[in-house]
Structure 1
Amino acid sequence: MSRLDATQRFSSRVADYVRYRPGYPPALIDWLHHDIGVGADALVADVGAGTGISTRMFLEAGHPVIAIEPNAPMREAAAHWLLPQFPQLQLLDGTAEHTTLPDDSVDLVSAAQAFHWFDTAAVRQEWARTLRPGGLALVYWNSRLLQGSAFLEAYERLLIDYGTDYTEVAERYQSDEEMRTWFGNGLRGIASFPNVQYLDHDGLQGRLLSSSYAPQAGHPRHAAMLDALRQLFADHAVDGKVAFAYQTRAFIGTLT
């Protein structure tokens, strides 16, 4: 997959991404502040910020934030829904490997769901350059549960049947062992937190269409996929909703 593809593949999915992608559990910030000891005034570089879901989490917790995102439609969406409430937010056009940040300029470099798209060797060097002495790197993402309920297992089958490059994308997420290796001796902590969305049919469809591997309108599999999703929802909804469950996995450490 080319670097251009990785940075541009969500351009046509921004509205669904803003409305239907999950946030992150409050326990993640509690762990960061109370267990790891990061102060609420720590300056955060939120790398691969997308539409600002992770950015909002840090802003609401009191952090000053620089959000870095190479995709212009996603960056514009973040500005639209965050700047009116958080005018102090800085938004930069940059990539994980070339943030445009000065040397020794931030206390915490953070990357959420976008981390699996990065060149992790180049990222490690770039983030080490931008961190102040003693600064930390935080990597975390929502890992969708593939098993545990009939709905989750049926949804996974739907993605395999209809997704354009689902298997390729799904295999990009790093394992715990890979993250231990990436941090090396600087690893300070690993944590996992439950996270869940309760979605009606429109929410479930929007969540599906926010995924880069879901065929969009005009694709030969698009209509059949939506028909299958409608049946899946009818088979598994309880009181008009399905439980879309995740584990939020988090890793933190120094990069020196």
Structure 2
Amino acid sequence: MADLRSTERFSDRVEDYVRYRPDYPRALVDWLHGLGVKPDWAVADIGAGTGISSKLFLDAGHRVTAVEPNQAMREAASHWLGAEGRFHAVDGTAEVTGLADGSVDLVTAAQAFHWFDQAAMRAEARRILSARGLVAVFWNTRRLVGTPFLEGYERLLHDYGVDYVSVAERYADDDAMARWFGHGYRGMASFPHGQKLDYDALLGRLMSSSYAPKPGHTNHEPMLKALRSLFEATQDDGTIDFDYDTRVFAGRPDA
């Protein structure tokens, strides 16, 4: 069964999530178009959250249905993107979307994929896909090494994060994703991506993470002190580079 708590895990972090979470590079969509995806393909964005991944496909000309069980996040997506006629949001989960059989051409799952019951999500994706359809799973992987900031930030999360290690270990590797797709696997790609953040944005980015202790937790104030020290030691002209690799996997999963 999926961890039901995951559907409410970000309810009290929506504002930070909207303002400070990274988007995704347009090169990701271009790569999918190279696999045969067309701008007129209808997209079901599963676990769409506040709509960051949905906007990527809206900007590329797709019609997007955002499937999101968390009411606060779903409402944030609708507030942000609802004026676009090609977008609407529905209450549903990765395992039970509520969408009709064969009704979408591209199923996408971004940063929330690791929270899903992945066997049930695979079956649901196959049910709602059209005959030509594909699934694309992607996420931003924060770089852990390479600069003093990145390495210090990783130490900070280990020192103060509430359940950081168990959450980080949920992300699938390349072999696991190939097995998830089975014989219908079409391949993967990786694109460099990043954010340039001042201190307030860095703090918001940290607090958008589900493992960051909230005010009142014994780790919260020490974490903020450590974050300020890290920022002051590594900033360049008032900002730091928060670097990612955006990884995307695509195909049509086996039954």
TM-score bracket relative to the smaller structure: over 0.9
Deviation per residue, 1:192-224 (Å, 9 max, x gap): 000010000001000000000000111111111
Q: Does 1:141 align with 2:130?
A: no
Q: Does 1:68 align with 2:54?
A: no
In the other structure, the counterpart of 2:26 is: 26
C-alpha displacement of 1:174: 0.3
Whether the 8 Å contact between 2:78 and 2:88 is mirrored in structure 1 is: no
In the other structure, the counterpart of 1:120 is: 118
SS for the counterpart of 2:112 is helix
In the other structure, the counterpart of 1:52 is: 51
Q: How many residues align?
A: 254
Whether the 8 Å contact between 2:39 and 2:61 is mirrored in structure 1 is: yes
Deviation per residue, 1:52-73 (Å, 9 max, x gap): 0001111111000100000000
TM-score, scaled relative to structure 1: 0.97
Query: Aligned partners of 1:145, 1:176: CA distance in 2, in Å?
Result: 16
Aligned partner letter, 1:29: V
Structure 2: unaligned runs, 5 residues or longer: none
Aligned partner letter, 2:3: R
Q: Which one of the candidate residues 247, 252, 255 is aligned to 2:253?
A: 255
Query: Aligned partners of 1:60, 1:190: CA distance in 2, in Å?
Result: 22
TM-score, scaled relative to structure 2: 0.98
Query: Aligned partners of 1:22, 1:83: CA distance in 2, in Å?
Result: 20
Aligned partner letter, 1:132: S
Aligned partner letter, 1:157: R
C-alpha displacement of 1:2: 6.6
In the other structure, the counterpart of 2:187 is: 189
In the other structure, the counterpart of 2:107 is: 109
Whether the 8 Å contact between 2:58 and 2:86 is mirrored in structure 1 is: no
Structure 1: unaligned runs, 5 residues or longer: none
SS for the counterpart of 1:15 is helix
Whether the 8 Å contact between 2:2 and 2:117 is mirrored in structure 1 is: no
In the other structure, the counterpart of 1:243 is: 241
Query: Aligned partners of 1:87, 1:185: CA distance in 2, in Å?
Result: 36
Whether the 8 Å contact between 2:55 and 2:81 is mirrored in structure 1 is: yes
SS for the counterpart of 2:247 is strand
In the other structure, the counterpart of 1:17 is: 17
In the other structure, the counterpart of 2:225 is: 227
Deviation per residue, 1:135-162 (Å, 9 max, x gap): 1000000000101111100000000000
Aligned partner letter, 1:192: S
SS for the counterpart of 2:248 is strand
C-alpha displacement of 1:4: 2.3
C-alpha displacement of 1:29: 1.2
Distance change in 2, residues 1:2/1:255 (3 Å): closer
Query: Aligned partners of 2:90, 2:251: CA distance in 1, in Å?
Result: 24
In the other structure, the counterpart of 1:6 is: 6
Aligned partner letter, 2:94: A
Deviation per residue, 1:9-48 (Å, 9 max, x gap): 1000000000000000111111111x21210110000000
In the other structure, the counterpart of 2:77 is: 78
SS for the counterpart of 2:225 is helix
Whether the 8 Å contact between 2:2 and 2:116 is mirrored in structure 1 is: no
Aligned partner letter, 1:88: R
Query: Aligned partners of 2:146, 2:185: CA distance in 1, in Å?
Result: 30
C-alpha displacement of 1:89: 1.1
Deviates more, 1:109-118 or 1:3-12: 3-12
Query: Aligned partners of 1:67, 1:58: CA distance in 2, in Å?
Result: 11
SS for the counterpart of 2:133 is strand
Whether the 8 Å contact between 1:159 and 1:166 is mirrored in structure 2 is: yes
In the other structure, the counterpart of 2:153 is: 155
